[in-house]
Amino acid sequence: MTDAEMVDAFAMAVQQFDRVADHLGLDDSLRQVLRTCKRELTVHFPVKMDDGSTRVFTGYRVQHNLARGPAKGGIRYHPAVTINEVKALSMWMTWKCAVVNIPYGGAKGGVACDPSLLSRAELERLTRRYATEISVLMGPDSDVPAPDMGTDAQVMAWIMDTYSMHQGYSVPGVVTGKPVPIGGTAGRVEATGRGCTIIAQAISKQRDWQPQETTVAIQGFGNVGSVTAQLMAKEGYRIIAVSDSKGGVYRQDGLDMEELLSYKREAKTAAGFKGGETITNAQLLELPCHILVPAAMEGQITAQNATRVQAQVIVEGANGPTTPEAEAILEDKGALVVPDVLANAGGLLVSYFEWVQDLQSFFWAEEEVNRRLEATLSRSFAVVTDLARREKANLRLAAYILALGRVKEAILARGIYP
């Protein structure tokens, strides 16, 4: 993704916000506050490489709004990370937290790097140095990072340990998405994909679609996409295509998910799987199917390809995969877009559950975590769909009306200090 496209991510986030602000008649003062990120930290830090050389990396941590609680948001390791992308992601996190009504504000972080080109030792040194640089913002009551693209439970463990060493005692609540033995929660790894599945099932129920007759295409076969594919296949849905950064595979009768997942564990990609025909990421987006789950990067469905998207329902597993221009085209075609702030909120919800468990030092069984996830997400989906019906709005506009209303209420209640 180019830098220009990254700038578009923040422009897209602001454009989405402006549409809702216009709809609500939001006054200029509140618009100014909510269009602006509260804090933007850029850090440049050296890392000792295995060959003895030193490389300087650039990282970011952005907090969009803290009116409803501590900042919450993932950390992304990707070569194309920029400040504008991180700003957009932090704004989307604010709305996501408000849509599912948990007491957080939005944040996001990232380091411009390719983790696949770093050794484990280099990745650990980079992570610990980055954590130290952003520790001025981090804390269990101030800013709680989580995994995102290119990071995982091990990266969170290093961040938690680094922060704890600085404090002189263990602080498990400073990050979520950690390994279970150091305060992580059961069910966190699968949470975002499980949330996408819950939403897809709710849509299917609304439309009287039987799982075995419902076709699904999933762009992005990382943590979110692969878990969504696995869980939906288990529920009987016909997964006809998946893809990742190296390519994809398609089979109209449905892919054998057990074989595909086994292949991916060995090959580290879905590309080249012999159980279907080879397709590209672009081709996957345009396949005829009932449900399309874009679970890769932002800005995948645009004005350039939206006219060729044939899915009846788009469940946004990634953040910002559909541009506003593309969404208007899809809406004109009668397609339903379930926005990211609702569709992929499962990971956020279980991160919140992990944080609560850490603060209490009392942990739940995985069944309890999944039960609470389904109950909260199903309730949020019902509230958004009911609001969309009453407002004669699409689901994104309804979700944003709900989110902005909750954030606005918090800002007005707290007032402006001093």
Residue positions annotated with a catalytic role: 108
Alpha carbons 254 and 212: distance in angstroms, whole number: 10
In SS3 terms, the chain reads as CCHHHHHHHHHHHHHHHHHHHHHHCCCHHHHHHHCCCCEEEEEEEEEECCCCCEEEEEEEEEEEECCCCCEEEEEEEECCCCHHHHHHHHHHHHHHHHHCCCCCEEEEEEEECCHHHCCHHHHHHHHHHHHHHHCCCCECCCEEEEECCCCCHHHHHHHHHHHHHHHCCCCHHHCCCCCHHHCCCCCCCCHHHHHHHHHHHHHHHHCCCCHHHCEEEEECCCHHHHHHHHHHHHCCCEEEEEEECCEEEECCCCCCHHHHHHHHHHHCCCCCCCCCEEECHHHHHCCCCCEEEECCCCCCECCCCHHHCCCCEEECCCCCCECHHHHHHHHHCCCEEECHHHHCCHHHHHHHHHHHHHHHCCCCCHHHHHHHHHHHHHHHHHHHHHHHHHHCCCHHHHHHHHHHHHHHHHHHHHCCCC
Token pair for residue 85? Answer: 């992308």
